Amino acid sequence: MAGLLGMALAACSAPGGGSGDGKAADSVVIGVASEPDTLSPLLGYGKDGNSKIFDGLLAYDSALALKPALAKALPDVSDDGRTYTFTLREGVTFSDGEPLTAQDVVFTYRTVLDPRTNNTARSELDAVKDVRASGDDTVVFTLKYPYAPFASRTVLPVVPEHIAAEQDPNTGSFNTEPVGTGPYILTGWRKGDRLTFKANPDYWGGEPEVKNLTMAIIADDDVRATRLRSGDLDGAVLPPALAAVFKDDDELPTYAAKSYDFRTVTLPTGNPVTGDRAVRQALDAAVDREAMVDTILDGAGAPAYGPLPVADPAFAPDIKRTQDLDRARSTLDKAGWKPGKDGIRVKDGRRASFTLYAPSGDKLRQDHALAYASDAKKAGVEVKVESATWEVIEPRMDRDAVLAGGGSTGDPDFGLYTLLHSSLAGDGFNNMAHYDNPAVDRALETARRTEDRQERKSAYTEIQHELVMDPGYTFLTHIDHVYVLADRWAGLTTQLEPHEHGFGSGPWWNIEDWKAKR
């Protein structure tokens, strides 16, 4: 391990020292903006698929269609939609050589569902009443209610009971020293610097051709672009404006992936200014989404009228809206917010002013924040943009606005419930705005608990209309994810991506299937 880590350090620290010099196709160094907090699926790692260390019962293909992974086939589903039965693939072992059994699957799901486990995504498995093993190779899930997208939740990675059960899931060493069934094995993790992996020679899908993988953690967008250009990196995730520099470079082609990833401003109700619905409505009307797409995203994205992109089947077309400063000003006037001497509105002696935090090093969010502040000022609202680390931002999220991101693929329930349901207000990064709307809560529950397509669509339409009338967030843009990657491998594709990207997504989502160009 020390030898492998030493080679990775050299590859990432000296210009031209990485595989970016074109001499090796079996080693890849990728630059990403952030790292996971944990590598344990019990705490949420890899819950949407694409973990290189683990596998789920099912997985997604390039078109996000479900396919068997640890299960040998798609599940058998009972007529009432409440029982899902999976049969495991034969001959699968964890990277320590121990065989995969149905009990490992049962342990994984029961631990995630245990309230003592600090998994903030537990609500995504709310439908599960029970999970049990039937012999060594069969797993049976019983649901409390028919849950239309349940099969997609079984991309959750499976962990080995014989290791994880001996530890506290919240604090144990498994969080940083994972053992899984996936195509790669973690060989080193220097927090804030890099993670290194080697190919799993006993992977059930066949040993990958890319033998060594390094994920270099580089928070600053400009630094990632510079290191990619210098040859330190083989590939990187970049904001559209920085990726455009490489558009004519045949050796470093650009890949764009459509996504559900939105940028939004959280407007916490606990703040005396953003807690005023009229202020939130005015900000929604004041923002120029189209200009943000054109200038900040260089066209690589689309306006966000809510959490769902326009292409989603559940999107409500009648919520599309353009900048309307007259409406913004009128809304504030009627609510008693009158222009002060400096143009900033005042009500009951309080200025219409609040702080908006944008994460340090994230140029895309900072640019969104500055554009938002500029638009808000035209309506008479002062938005003071500050840059800070997440360690500084997180304790302030209940009272200060944040330039946030979110969005999940697979089903509207996956992203909207954790974003909007009042029961999850302040639960980690769930419902960061502390949004509380009883009509939205009811619609979320209705959509979650029915399999009727029209009823679900009607519920999601109601939610989108409520977010226009009672916005807890100002949705700005849906961004395309842009990547640059050295042209040395065949078989590269992208998927429709969630908010989380770069580490498990991008052209390297299926790196285990890459073949070197000869």
Judgement on whether residues 306 and 390 belong to the same structural domain of the protein: yes
One-letter-per-residue 3-state SS of 242-287:
HHHHHCCCCCCCEEEECECCEEEEECCCCCCCCCCHHHHHHHHHHC
The reply to whether 148 falls in a domain is yes
Structural domain boundaries enclosing 393: 262-479
Q: Among 427, 429, 455, which Cα is nearest to 442's?
A: 455
Q: 202 and 272 in one domain?
A: no
Instruction: Based on the fold, state whether residues 315 and 244 are members of the same structural domain.
Output: no
The yes-or-no verdict on residue 5 having pLDDT over 70 is: no
Regarding pTM above 0.75, the answer is yes
Q: Is residue 360 part of a domain?
A: yes
What's the confidence (pLDDT) of residue 121?
A: 86
CATH (domain of 239)? 3.40.190.10
Question: What distance lies between CA 16 and its chain's CA centroid?
Answer: 31
Same domain, 230 and 144: no
Q: Are residues 475 and 487 in the same domain?
A: no
What average pLDDT does the structure give for the chain? 93
Decide if 169 is inside a domain. no
CATH of residue 137's domain is 3.90.76.10
Specify if 405 maps to a domain. yes
- What token pair was written down for 59? 């997985």
176 within domain boundaries: no
Residue from 112, 93, 299, 303 nearest 202 by CA: 93
- Confirm whether 181 is domain-assigned: no
Residues 291 and 239 in one domain: no
Report the CATH number at residue 403: 3.10.105.10
- For 223, residues 6+ apart whose C-beta sits below 8 A from its C-beta are none
pLDDT of residue 491: 83
Lowest mean pLDDT among 67-71, 243-247, 403-407: 243-247
Q: What is the pLDDT of residues 181-206, one digit of tens each?
A: 999 999 999 999 999 999 999 999 99
pLDDT tens string 296-309 = 999 999 999 999 99
Task: State pLDDT tens for residues 72-111.
Answer: 999 999 999 999 999 999 999 999 999 999 999 999 999 9
Q: In the predicted model, is pLDDT for residue 6 greater than 80? A: no
